[in-house]
Amino acid sequence: MTQKHISHLKSNQVDTDGNPIAPQPEDILYGELALNYADGVETLYTKNDNDEIVSFSNSEYVESVSEHSVLITYDELKTLRDAGTLVAGRFYRITDYEFTTVQEDTSSAGHVFDVIVRADSTSVLNENAFATWHEGDTYFADAHLNAWELKYCLDNDTSRFAWAGSTNGRGIIFRLKDEWGNDCPYDFKNCLYTLDSEDYYTFDCYTDSTHSDHSLNGAYCYGNVMGEYVSSKKRTLNANVFKNTSKAEYCYANTFGVGCYSNTFSGGCHSNTFGVGCYSNTFSGGCHSNTFGVGCYSNTFGVGFIYHTFGNSCHSNTFGNYCDSNTFGNSCHANTFGSFCSSNTFGNHCDSNTFGNSCSSNTFGENVRGTKTAINYVKNCRIDNGVFYINLTCEDTTESGKNYLQNVQIVKGVSGTSSTPLKVVIPDRNLSYETKVARNSSGDLKIYCEADLIN
């Protein structure tokens, strides 16, 4: 098909019920474009040399648009827009777009592509935009830019975007979704974050002392979606970074709520879901399939931390390596878990707990504070509401295989203070019966088997 020129963009054709329909040959002239919207899909219609209507959709649509759009520089387009001399319906291809940033600890990788925008009127550009290759570029040679989805603002609006530069900006991409479904509220193909004196892509792959964009590899990096981060009423670059140390490491299907920022992931993190306002979390390699509630922040997760569910407002926790399959209640924070902790269930508002290595299968009630265990292999223990600031130990300090301290319940009223935690010493390990820890009516601490009190 040969196109002579594009005179203008025809408006949508609709039937008597208002449903979009394809234009007929008599509805469109050779060299014109008609654009219809149906079910959220934009479809381009034009007439070929045989007087036949042909259509394009998705990437084909963008490819056709790029062929017929007006080549223009950023400054030239801004001049037309400001003067109100755009042609409504016409596509303009910005040939000198480049990501720029003035936000602290961010910089540009300088990889160029062209941005295509459409004029809605003589003075308004639609912010739904497209990407296409820049002439002479080889960096995106294997990328499918026609499938990208952009939101683009022509203005370098410093009141709207924290990274906007008022002097050297080329407009702001405030959403980019690539062909692999990676979707971020900025140009993540170019934005670099400076961490520990090194510059990282959002989806970084650090091999052979070189940083590269892992999102160019759709086999291993796809389906990651980040909500926007607003600080001081401005959209702000969020500093969420995936650090992959191998091209074969996975980071995919992560979902970040609005206001998630400054999270750092080592290789192997995938299938996580983060609520609104999760920030400043650090994940080591192998973290995946976690679900985080609203307001989880400042947590440090060890290697192999998998299959967890966190309630809202969990923060300031430190988790040892290989902790897995835990469920945490709301407002758990400042806990420290040793290696190999697994299958624990925590009630709401548990905080400031410290567990030894290989503690597992513990169940805590609500409002537990300051609890510590000084022994390994704890399981099937329960701490009731109102218990706080205790240090759980055992007279038997030997460790033979997995000789658990188990079946211990600490009831309401047993507590110490933040400055003087209460030391609770259990005589035996590996209890086959339930042992209770309680205070009697005189306030004395008692450790007993309830069934022994029954005649």
CA angle 156, 160, 164 (to 5 degrees): 35
**Of residues 8, 37, 34, 33, the one with CA closest to residue 121:** 8
Q: 310 is written with which tokens? A: 């966190």
Confidence (pLDDT) at 335: 66
Range of the domain at 29: 9-65
Distance in angstroms (rounded) separating the CA atoms of residues 266 and 91:
41
Contact 437, 414 (CB under 8 A): yes
Answer yes or no: is 358 within a domain: yes
For residues 452 and 104, the model is more confident at 104
Residue 248 has pLDDT above 80, yes or no: yes
Count of domains in the chain? Answer: 2
**Is there a domain that residue 203 lies in?**
no
Residue 73 counted as domain residue = no
Give the C-alpha separation, 121 to 118, whole Å. Answer: 9
Per-residue tokens: 452: 């022994």
Evaluate whether residue 357 is within a structural domain: yes
Distances (CA, A) of 164 to 124, 153, 317: 20, 11, 35
- Give, as one character, the DSSP assignment of residue 195: E
Distance CA 441, CA 443 (A): 5
Question: Which of 41, 65, 89 is at the close of a domain?
Answer: 65
- pLDDT of residue 104 exceeding 90, the answer is yes
Range of weakest confidence among 52-61, 205-214, 355-364: 355-364
Stated as kind and residue range, the H or E segment containing 66 is: helix 58-68
Name the amino acid, one letter, at 51: D
Residue 148 resides in a domain: no
Which of the four pLDDT bands, split at 50, 70 and 90, describes residue 3? very low
Q: In what order do the strands lie in the sheet containing 106-108?
A: 106-108, 191-195, 198-200
d(CA 247, CA 243) in angstroms, rounded, equals 11
Work out the average pLDDT over 94-103: 97
pTM for the predicted model, two decimal places: 0.69
Q: Where are the alpha helices (DSSP H) in 51-147?
A: 58-68, 74-83
Lowest mean pLDDT among 35-39, 176-180, 265-269: 35-39
Residue 320 has pLDDT above 70, yes or no: no
The reply to whether 295 falls in a domain is no
| pLDDT at res. 366 | 46
Lookup result for tokens 């290696």: 339
Q: What is the mean pLDDT of the chain?
A: 80
Within 10 Å of residue 24's Cβ, how many Cβ atoms?
Answer: 10
Model confidence at 434, pLDDT cuts 50, 70, 90, reads: confident
Q: Could you give the 3-state DSSP secondary structure of residue 62?
A: helix
- Tell me which range, 237-241, 286-290, 386-390, is most confidently predicted by mean pLDDT: 237-241
Cα–Cα dist 146/132, whole Å: 6
- Candidate ranges 7-16, 28-37, 300-309, 354-363; pick with highest mean pLDDT: 300-309
Local confidence band at 325 (pLDDT 50, 70, 90 cut-offs): low
Contact 420, 393 (CB under 8 A): no
Q: Which of 2-11, 181-190, 211-220, 231-240 has the lowest mean pLDDT?
A: 2-11
For residue 447, is it within any domain?
yes
Is 80 exceeded by the pLDDT of residue 148? yes
